[in-house]
Chain A
Amino acid sequence: MTWDWSAVREFMPHFWDGLLVTLQALVLGSLISFSLGLVWALLMRTPTRWVRWPVGVVTEFVRNTPLLVQLFFLFYVLPEWGLTFSALTTGVFAIGLHYSTYTMQVYRAGIEAVPAGQWEAATALSLPARRTWFAVILPQAVRRVVPPLGNYVISMLKDTPILVSITVLEMLGQARLFSQQHFQFTEPLTVIGVAFVVISYLASLLLRTLERRLVR
């Protein structure tokens, strides 16, 4: 086995295309999982059982079935119901939905960690529920949820190659395509491996900065 720099050079244009798709999937997937997870977490705290129960069942189901199965379901079954989306859109949604069932638990823990005295002070000041949530409780929960949410971002990054299975050409897809066409596997796979490490590292730096800023 020899390392061929010219193969790396040839692969790079495809790599950049793949990187862009991976980052898109990561950023959009994160945004969906962060916001949907918060929605689940808040719905689970409503006083009505008829809201909590279905939300609980659905999220428990999604959390306990494999992402790959969900991905196939969305990609192959939804079109039968007349819902057709691009492979990337489907993939981003699947990742976002799957991870929202994890982030909801992060939010739940963050919300529960806010001392009871904060709720009591809000009541004593007659703050309406909305205001209590958005001005008092959530801002305090946020600083507690950033580190665990960050871990899920890294986790999500490492799950993006699963999108290959529904024809999305993210980094792994590009590397596989290139390998099959040129019979050179070492270089493209090494390049994307390094890229995953670099992205993870940069993401963790970013999160640590964010964390430090929030803790103040």
Chain B
Amino acid sequence: MSVDTSKQPSTTDTAATELIRLAGVTKRFGGNTVLDGLDLAVQTGRHVTLIGPSGSGKTTILRLLMTLAEPDSGTITVDGQRLFPASEKERREVRKQIGMVFQQFNLFPNMTVLRNITEAPVTVLGLPKDEAEARARDLLDLVGLADKCDAKPTQLSGGQQQRVAIARALAMRPKVLLLDEVTSALDPELVAGVLDVLRDIARSTDITMLCVTHEMNFARDISDQVLMFDAGRVIEAGPPERIFSEPEHERTREFLGAVL
């Protein structure tokens, strides 16, 4: 592990309710080290926002947790179960507890909105079809799209598609929701609708959220912890009020100065 803990801000509080732990995680793409011996712990129910310049490794963390990529070294556990290193069988179990919303929505265009949401609960969790549909309708209601059950994704606006994608992720009742720049691909006037939905979810559920975003207002609004990334390391961590008003680290000041 290459982390200098004296300088590294404490992001690894060892509470009993710890849900996610990354220890000494390194990820390289070619000769480029994206994550450099990263230690990170997230407690149950926390809403953590990852900020930092692009290429600083934020999205890579989400992809590692979703098993869309594998670290080169280090360990990852979720709810006490191993995600890396782990067998495919172990990984499958952990994966069910994690949901992800993507920048490009990634809805299945060959399915109706309702089928998009019921597909996994029926085939993975073995939920009866009518129960899955009832749950899907409730979720569509939650995201304000109750009337779009039978629409195809291509008939929806980007903002509506993203809200369906959120409902689809929630339908699996995950413990962790990963949000990967969920508003970056949206037209500006559609961003608010998606953020409202996420704000609702953050307030009304105890789901743990890990969120990569460039929407600093949103980060301030929903998160209770902000992690500032630079070059594959967490260089500063703390509650949003402090990070945004009095950042300690020079890089954080520069970054916030550029995006706010």
A contacts, CB < 8 Å to B: 115, 117-118, 120-121, 123-128, 131, 135-136, 139-140
Complex Cα spacing A72 to B115, Å: 50
Which of chain A's residues have a CB closer than 8 A to the CB of B123?
127-128, 131, 135
For A125, list chain B residues within 8 Å (CB).
Answer: 99, 119-120, 124, 168-169, 172
Select the residue from A117, A124, A127, A135 with max chain B CB neighbours within 10 A: A124
**Majority SS at the chain B contact face:** loop
Chain B residues whose C-beta falls within 8 Å of the C-beta of A135 in the assembled complex: 108, 111, 119, 123
In the complex, B109 has a CB within 8 A of chain A: yes
Q: Do residues A120 and B102 form an inter-chain contact, with CB atoms below 8 A?
A: yes
Q: How far is the CA of A131 from the CA of B121 in the complex (A)?
A: 13
Q: In the assembly, what is the distance between CA of A125 and CA of B124, in Å?
A: 8
Q: State the 7 A-B residue pairs at the shortest beta-carbon distance, nearest first.
A: A125-B120, A121-B106, A117-B106, A124-B100, A139-B110, A126-B124, A126-B96
* Residue in chain B with minimal CB distance to A122: B108
Q: Are A127 and B104 in contact (CB under 8 A)?
A: no
**Closest Cβ–Cβ distance, residue B61 to chain A (whole Å):** 15
Which B residues between 65 and 119 are near A, CB-CB below 8 angstroms? 66-68, 92, 95-96, 98-100, 102, 104, 106-111, 119
Residue of B66, B67, B98, B120 touching A127 (CB-CB under 8 A): B120
Given known contacts A123-B67, A128-B124, A136 and B108 CB-to-CB distance under 8 angstroms:
yes
Set of chain A residues within 8 Å of B99, measured between Cβ atoms: 124-125
Alpha-carbon separation in the docked complex, A170 to B92 (Å)? 55
- By CB atoms of chain B within 10 A, which of A121, A123, A139 has the most? A121
Pairwise interchain contact A123-B106, C-beta atoms closer than 8 A: no
Among B95, B102, B106, B172, the most chain A Cβ lie within 10 Å of the Cβ of B106
User: In the complex where A118-B108, A136-B108, A140-B110 touch, is A126 in contact with B66 (Cβ < 8 A)?
Assistant: no
Against A, the Cβ 8 Å flags (1 = close, 0 = not) of B174-212 are: 000000000000000000000000000000000000000
Measured CA separation A126–B119 after assembly (Å):
10
List, in ascending order, chain A residues with CB within 8 A of B66's CB: 120, 123-124
In the complex, the answer to whether A118 meets B96 with C-beta atoms within 8 Å is: no
Q: How far is the CA of A121 from the CA of B96 in the complex (A)?
A: 13
Chain A residue nearest to B97 (CB atoms) is A126
Q: Which residues of A contact B96 (CB under 8 A)?
A: 126
Least CB separation from B102: chain A residue: A117
**Once the chains bind, are B102 and A121 in contact (CB under 8 Å)?**
yes
CA distance A131 to B67 in the complex (A): 18
Residues of A within 8 Å of B124, CB to CB, are 125-128
In-complex Cβ contact of B120 among A117, A120, A126, A139 (8 A): A126
